[in-house]
Chains A and B, each alone.
Chain A
C-alpha cells in the first residue's frame, strides 16, 4: 500500500489555509463596490474557479495528445482527473456567475458568448464522462477519451468566436474602459489584491485535487488488478 505523500498533505493544509485567506480577502478586505454593493464580492471566487476550470480543460487536451503519442496510461489518468476536477469548478463558476447576474443584469442567464461557451464546454465535459462510462476496455476508453478532449479543445474557441458575432453583455473587467454600462467596474488596488489571492488559492486547491484524483485513479487500477487476481 502506497503511503500518502507528505507533500500532498502539505498541499491539503495549504489549500484549506488558502481558501480561508481568500474568503477573508473577498468578504472583508476588498472594499465594497460602489454601484453593485456586496454582491460584487462573488466575483473573486467566480474568477478563481473559472481560471482553474479553463486551465484544467487545456491540460486535459494536452494530456490527450501526449497519451495518443506515448500510450502511457498515466496520461489517461491525468486527463480524466483534469476533466473531472475542471468540470466541477466550471459548474461552480456558472452558478456563481448566475448569482451575480441576477442583481446585475436582472436575469439568471443570458445567451452571451462567454455564458454560452461555458455551457457548451460543460456539456462537452459531461459527454466525455458518458463516453468513458460506455467503454469497458481501459485502453480503448483512454484512446477515445483523448480524441474527444482534443475535439472539444478545438471546438470551444471556435464556439466562442462564432457566438461573439452576436451581441455581448459580459463585462470585460481588465483592459476595457467602456465596461460600466455592462455591469463592469474599475478595480481598485485592494480589489486586484483580493482577486490575485483568490486566483492563487484556487490554483493550489486545483493542484491538490488533481493530485488526489490521479492517485485515486492509480489505486482504482490496482484494485481492479487485485480483483482479477482473486477471481482467477
Chain B
C-alpha cells in the first residue's frame, strides 16, 4: 500500500461514487430503514417491550436490528458492483486494491450510520427511551459499526462471488462477528443502564481490539478475495 495522496484520493473517489449513486436512487437506505422498522415492530410483539423489559433489552434489540439491516446493505452494495460489471472496472483501475476495500467500507459505514441515526430517535420516540441519547452510546455505536462493516465488506466481496450469494453472507458473517456484537451489546447496555464507566470499559476495550485486528485482517486479505 502507498500512503501517497493518490491512495486517499482513490479511496474517497470510490466512496463518493457509492454515496452519489445512493443519494440519487435511495434504494439501499430506504430498504434498510423499512426493514429496521419492521424488525423493531416485530421485537415489540415478540418481547413485550414494557418499561421493565426495555431497561435490559434495549441494547440487544437495537444491535440485532442493525446487524440484520447491515447484512441487507452489505449484500446490496457488493451485488450492484458485481452485476453491472463495475467490479471489473474497479479492478482494472490503476489503484491499490486496498483502496477499493476502504472505499467500499467507508460507503457501507456511512449507510449503516445513517440508518442508525434515523432508527435511534425513532426507537426513543416509540418507547419513550431517552437514555440512549448519550455521547458514550454513540461512541459504542460507531466502534461497533466499524468492526461489523470491516469484516462485512470483506465477506460480502466473497459471498457475492459464490453460487448461493445473498443467502451465504449472514451465515459467513454472523459467527465471525459474534464478538463485536456481544461487546457492543454489553457496552451499550451498561450505558443505557447508567452504570459507571469502569463497569463497561472492558467490553469497550475488546471492541477496539476487534476493530483494529479486523480492519487490518480484512485489509490484508482483500487482495486475495478480489484477484482473478
Contact = CB atoms under 8 A, between A and B. Distances in A.
Interface of A: 68, 120, 123-124, 126-127, 130-131, 134-136, 140, 143-144, 146-148, 150-152, 154-155, 158-159, 161-163, 165
Given A131-B168, A144-B225, A161-B206, A151 B162 contact: no
B193 interface: no
Contacts of B177: 155
Report the contact-size class of chain B (Cβ under 8 Å from the partner). 35 or more
Nearest to B207: A162
A1 B96 CA distance: 46
B176 A134 contact: no
A160 B224 CA distance: 28
A143 B217 contact: no
B76 to A, nearest CB: 19
Contact of B161 (A68, A123, A130, A135): A135
Contacts, number: 89
Given A123-B174, A158-B213, 8 more contacts: A124-B176, A131-B158, A131-B172, A134-B163, A143-B225, A151-B155, A155-B175, A159-B178
Interface of A is mostly: helix
B175 to A, nearest CB: 4
A155 B179 contact: yes
Contact of B206 (A127, A130, A162): A162
Task: Name the 5 nearest CB pairs between A and B, nearest first.
Answer: A134-B162, A158-B179, A123-B175, A134-B163, A134-B164
7 contacts: A130-B172, A144-B161, A151-B176, A151-B218, A155-B214, A162-B206, A165-B202
